[in-house]
Chains A and B, each alone.
Chain A
């Protein structure tokens, strides 16, 4: 299924009236005896058979729309104005039995966490069959239909899966089961609320393909909710952009993303590195400011306080949805000026190149880590050789379970690697355990964790959190500490008055800035960034990435940047290492790794990522999920999923060495590089 197919779908939309019609919808939450509007004047329509996307950052009200449609709003929420029609019927006016009927037969929902949508104590088969039993089928027949449905969602060996409990399934499998249950009722409307956000990119690609395919088969209307613009672009015919509870722009997905007509949409798209953009091409644009506090309603346009082109009229009265052609609307008075919207952040190309190739700061040799006992050894890392050069960013990519985080923790000394592993810092071996490292060595290696909520002690104030490494690592005290603290706070773009706050009083982006300040406090040589922006919204992410680039230039640090988002890795990294089951599959300059020829695994990772930039050649698909590290496949560990496996049997029998295929470009694959080049250039699917 390609994007071309999805955009063709509106033509197929037939039937009687729209599947969903929402008009002037207001939803209000009552919080501490105050009404706060979470949705304001939201109107949209989903035609029968159409796939409609809702995008927005956290707090924009995406999920509230879904809850309002099915009348699942929490006790303190209510629809305070407007109308909802699902297949012409009004769920707000329904009695209990009609509402039950609507939820059982007309609308199905799939949520982000498949693990929480399944009952942990009931076998998978029973749970799916239950849907058919509610529809009136007998026990045996329901089980039979359930098995058929599981086959339709491409679960191999559905008969065995039926007997499993939900906890025995992987995330991707569980989400397939949830989708099977959702479709079993043959709903006319399927609501998908971030259905792939919790999944790996490769699994996400499979699940998205599945949803697209099933949509054609069942002719279901879809409301697809996501924060991921690329996923929406791939999956939806039309899209609505939500900001602070208002639908600020709407239209056909491809056109909205190609030529946005609202400053917020423009800003959002500019926050994402696209079309191979890299850090040396200039900084990312950001959206300054913050989402308004719920309940704070400005007199004019809700986006005006953050808009670079806002005028007096914008602040005076809220703009109505202006038709801007091709079935598109934009709630912006100045929609004609959005094409050349001024940047909020200057491109600022005078960032000096900091990389000093050929001067390794850290060398990892034969780094291995085995968890568990001898009988059940799980090899998380197997003989990894890597070096980090001064001032470079090494991107570390791979699916979950590939050993990225284990590598980072071993480097930092948080988990001791196996006997025989070597970690060299400036040519000198360092102790495997952080407790035995000198202050200089501790100073040199620091980390920005993925989740600042977990990385910052919630009982301490910002001042204390940042002072702690200043006194421990930099050995400062008194006036010199205060001076350096002020410097540091300024360089992560925070303000003095935030020093007395605790983490719970800060937004996600600010918390991550505190974590970055802590990592930089001691003057580190190497900073490990373990998915530093994955918990953040797109607009916040851009500001954090800019900050990381600035700090690298200023402090001449080396980054080990771990991320599942290949776009980010490409933007930030000078070199990239691809890990699979604890082994380096490919290592090379970022541009080379992205341009190809790639290792088949890298190729699969790249083609799994949905893109905002339109078409990509037919991609290669990975079958199944990453095998268990306790029992890795023989030969090349990737052969079980490799779509380009050689017919000679070599892949199954011998493990390919990591060899240099071009200067600085290493790959672990039996397929000769020339052959890979040919195969991948023609975009030939295996």
Chain B
């Protein structure tokens, strides 16, 4: 092959090409993997530690919890925090600490599953809208805007009233409500990509649209998807807590932060603050932790 071309000017690696190689290698060495960059950020560490704590509670909650979270002690209702019950007990004498620890499971499970569902649907929709454009984009775009115009709670109520509350319903409802939000973000990222020639190049190889979207475009919009995913988890935690508080979430006696606040805030004026405060703090710490992690991911991926 090279014989046909004749003696080549650049074919044999000459010492002169060494700088290019060092440059290329330097580039590899210089590009620190994103996770290393994140570990250098104190906010990521702080958020990550809190998040890991709640994840551990979600997985091993029943083992860690000092008491059975559903065991009622009718002789020790509304007991203030003590050595036996660090976070006190509630109106039914259940250990608040145990309920907070075990309650992490439902909220995390629903929030993560719903966000995954919303991200997958939203990304698929965004890819189709951005890649095909035209009538697809206009039609789906209008539907997306219509959904966005309704308050999340109203949409969720409609579904839950129709289907009945359950963990599965919550996941589907929140996932569907998040879909248009994610689709819109992904669509604009795809639009930027669709200006680039590598898509034309793929079309000239005879690649099908589905392949182009999944193999060519998706990896390039993945950072956007990832950021959107983590941002949405924060919102999802809040949404799950809200719906539980309103009674559309996990049904008693299963421990749940939102439902526990709803069940106990009525006795707050009587001075039983621990029954409401600790689940509320749990929600707050989880949302803050997710947002700290999200911020770091966003900054590292966008730099």
Interface residues of A (CB under 8 A from B): 32, 283, 286, 288-293, 296, 305-306, 344-346, 348, 350, 409, 412-414, 434-435, 437, 439, 442, 445-447, 449-451, 454-460, 468-469, 472-473, 487, 490-491, 493, 495, 497-498, 501, 504-507, 510, 518, 543, 546, 550, 554
A–B Cβ pairs within 8 angstroms, 25 of them: A286-B10, A288-B9, A290-B17, A296-B22, A305-B18, A346-B7, A409-B200, A414-B203, A450-B197, A454-B196, A454-B197, A457-B202, A460-B219, A468-B205, A472-B205, A472-B206, A490-B2, A491-B1, A493-B10, A504-B27, A507-B20, A510-B20, A546-B9, A554-B4, A554-B5
Structural contact, A348 and B204, CB atoms closer than 8 A: no
Contact call A442/B16, Cβ cutoff below 8 A: no
For the complex, what is the distance from the CA of A493 to the CA of B5, rounded to whole Å? 11
Q: A293-B23, A412-B204, A457-B220 are in contact. Are A449 and B17 (CB under 8 A)?
A: no
CB-CB nearest in chain B for A439:
B206
In the complex, whether B19 has a CB less than 8 A from a CB of chain A is yes
Give the chain B neighbours of A487 by CB distance below 8 A: 1
What are the residues of chain B within 8 A of A345 when measuring CB–CB? 9
Question: Are the CB atoms of B198 and A498 closer together than 8 Å?
Answer: no
Taking a contact as CB atoms under 8 Å apart, the answer to whether B201 and A449 are in contact is yes
Selected from B15, B197, B205, B206, the residue in CB contact (under 8 A) with A451 is B197
Give the residue of A32, A449, A506 whose beta carbon is less than 8 angstroms from that of B30: A32
Is the C-beta of B145 less than 8 angstroms from some C-beta in chain A?
A: no
Residue-wise interface mask of B (283-301) relative to A, using a CB-CB cutoff of 8 A (1 in contact, 0 not) = 0000000000000000000
- For residue A446, which residue of chain B has the nearest CB? B204
CA distance A609 to B259 in the complex (A): 77
Complex interface: chain B residues within 8 A of A490 (CB): 1-2, 11
Chain B CB within 10 Å, residue with most, of A286, A409, A493, A498: A493
**CB <8 Å contact, B206 and A458:** no
Smallest beta-carbon distance B62→chain A, Å = 43
Q: How far is the CA of A501 from the CA of B5 in the complex (A)?
A: 26
A442 touches B206 (CB 8 A): yes
Bound state CA distance, A291 and B19, in angstroms? 7
Instruction: Knowing A288-B9, A554-B5 are in contact, say whether A472-B16 is a contact too (CB < 8 A).
Output: no
Question: Which residues in A have their C-beta under 8 angstroms from that of B20?
Answer: 289-290, 507, 510
**Residues from chain B with Cβ under 8 Å of A288 in the complex:** 9-10, 14, 16-17
Instruction: Report the nearest A residue to B30, measured CB to CB.
Output: A32
Closest 9 CB pairs of A and B: A289-B16, A459-B219, A455-B197, A493-B10, A345-B9, A290-B20, A472-B205, A449-B197, A454-B197
**Which residues of the other chain, B, contact A498 by a CB distance below 8 angstroms?**
24
Residue in A closest to B23 when the chains form the complex, CB atoms? A293
- B36 CB, min distance to chain A CBs, angstroms: 14
Tell which of A439, A459, A501, A510 has the most Cβ of chain B within 10 Å: A459
Question: Chain B residues near A450 (CB, 8 Å)?
Answer: 197
Q: How far is the CA of A504 from the CA of B23 in the complex (A)?
A: 12
Give the CA-CA distance A546 to B23 in the complex, in Å: 25
Contact B14 A472 (CB under 8 A): no
Contacts of A506 in B (CB 8 A): 24
A459 touches B220 (CB 8 A): yes
* B2, B24, B30 — most chain A CB neighbours (10 Å): B24
Contacts of A505 in B (CB 8 A): 24, 27-28
Tell whether B216 is near chain A: CB-to-CB under 8 Å. Answer: yes
Alpha-carbon distance A472/B179, docked complex (angstroms): 34
B7–A289 contact, CB under 8 A?
Answer: no
Q: How far is the CB of A201 from chain B (nearest CB, A)?
A: 24
Is B19 within 8 A of A292, CB to CB? yes
Given A449-B201, A454-B198, A459-B220, residue A289 in contact with residue B5 (CB < 8 A): no
* Min CB–CB distance B194 → chain A (angstroms): 11
Asked if residues A457 and B198 are in contact (CB atoms below 8 Å), the reply is yes
Cα–Cα, bound, A597→B216 (Å): 49
Contact across chains for B216 and A457 when beta carbons are under 8 A apart: yes
B13 at the binding interface (Cβ < 8 Å):
yes
Contact A543 B10 (CB under 8 A): yes
Q: Is the CB of A501 within 8 A of B24?
A: yes
Question: Which residues of chain A come closer than 8 Å to B202, judged between CB atoms?
Answer: 457
Q: Which residues of A contact B7 (CB under 8 A)?
A: 346, 348
Whole-angstrom CA separation of A459 from B221 in the bound complex: 10
Residue of B nearest to A343 (CB): B9
Contact B204 A434 (CB under 8 A): yes
Shortest distance between the CB of A43 and any CB in chain B (Å) = 26
CB distance from B11 to the nearest CB of A (A): 5
Asked whether any CB of chain A lies closer than 8 Å to the CB of B253, the reply is no
Within 8 A of A (CB), among B183-215: 195-198, 200-207
Closest to B21 in A: A497
Report if B303 contacts A (CB, 8 A). Answer: no
| Nearest-CB residue, chain B, relative to A289 | B16
State the Cβ distance, A646 to closest chain B Cβ, in Å: 42
Please give, as numbers and ranges, the residues of chain A lying within 8 Å of B11 by CB-CB distance: 490, 493
Q: State how many angstroms separate the Cβ of A445 from the closest Cβ of chain B.
A: 7
Besides A449-B197, A493-B9, A505-B24, 5 new A-B residue pairs in contact (Cβ under 8 A), listed by A number: A290-B17, A447-B200, A458-B220, A473-B206, A491-B2
Is the pair B207, A472 in contact by a Cβ cutoff of 8 Å?
A: yes
Cβ of B75 < 8 Å from any Cβ of A?
no
Contacts of A493 in B (CB 8 A): 8-11
Nearest chain-A residue to B16 (Cβ)? A289
CB < 8 Å neighbour of A306 from B16, B30, B216: B16
Q: How near does chain A come to B95, taking the closest CB pair, in angstroms?
A: 51
Chain A residue with the shortest CB-CB distance to B222 = A459
Q: Which residues of A contact B200 (CB under 8 A)?
A: 409, 412, 414, 447, 449
Q: Which residues of B contact A32 (CB under 8 A)?
A: 30
Residues of B within 8 A of A434 (CB): 203-204, 206
**B residues within 8 A CB of A459?**
219-220
The reply to whether the CB of B26 lies closer than 8 angstroms to some CB of chain A is yes
Known: A290-B19, A306-B16, A454-B197. A447 touches B220 (CB 8 A): no
* A305-B15, A493-B11 given; A293·B197 CB < 8 A: no
Distance (whole angstroms) from the CB of A671 to the closest CB of chain B: 40
| CB under 8 Å from chain A, chain B span 205-243 | 205-207, 216, 219-220
B271 on the A face (CB < 8 A): no
Query: Are A286 and B9 touching (Cβ within 8 A)?
Result: yes
Task: Report the minimum CB–CB distance from A245 to chain B (whole Å).
Answer: 14
Which residues of the other chain, A, contact B219 by a CB distance below 8 angstroms?
A: 457, 459-460
Complex Cα–Cα for A454 and B194 (A): 10
Chain B residues within 8 Å of A447, by CB:
200-201, 204
Q: Is the CB of A289 within 8 A of B197?
A: no
Write the chain A residue with the least CB distance to B200: A414
A459-B220, A490-B1 known; A293 and B28 CB under 8 Å? no
With both chains docked as a complex, state the minimum distance between the C-beta of A45 and any C-beta of chain B, in angstroms.
Answer: 32
Bound form: Cα–Cα A490–B18 in Å: 18
Nearest opposing residue in chain B for A306, CB measure: B16
B8's closest neighbor in chain A, by CB? A493
Q: How far is the CA of A450 from the CA of B201 in the complex (A)?
A: 12
Closest partner residue, chain A, to B199 (CB atom):
A457
CB contact between A469 and one of B13, B198, B205 (< 8 Å): that residue: B205
Shortest distance in angstroms between B120's beta carbon and chain A's nearest beta carbon?
A: 20
Say how far A31's CB is from chain B's closest CB, in angstroms.
9
- Assess whether A293 is in contact with B19, with CB atoms less than 8 Å apart: yes
Note all chain B residues with C-beta closer than 8 A to A305: 15-16, 18-19
Q: Which of A289, A348, A447 has the most CB of B within 10 A?
A: A289
Separation in Å of the B14 CB from the closest CB of chain A?
6
B15 to chain A, nearest CB (A): 7
Give the distance in Å from the alpha carbon of A518 to the alpha carbon of B200 in the complex.
13
Chain B residues lying within 8 Å of A292, measured Cβ to Cβ, are: 19
Residues of B within 8 A of A409 (CB): 200
Question: B21 contacts which chain A residues (CB < 8 A)?
Answer: 497
Whether, in the assembled complex, B269 has its beta carbon less than 8 Å from a beta carbon of chain A, the answer is no
Q: Check B6 for interface membership: any CB of A closer than 8 A.
A: yes
Tell me the minimal C-beta distance from B233 to chain A in angstroms: 24
Closest to B22 in A: A293
**Which residues on B sit within 8 Å (CB–CB) of A546?**
9
Complex Cα gap A454–B200 (Å): 10
Point out the residues of chain B lying under 8 angstroms from A473, CB to CB.
Answer: 205-206
Report chain B residues within 8 Å CB of A469: 205
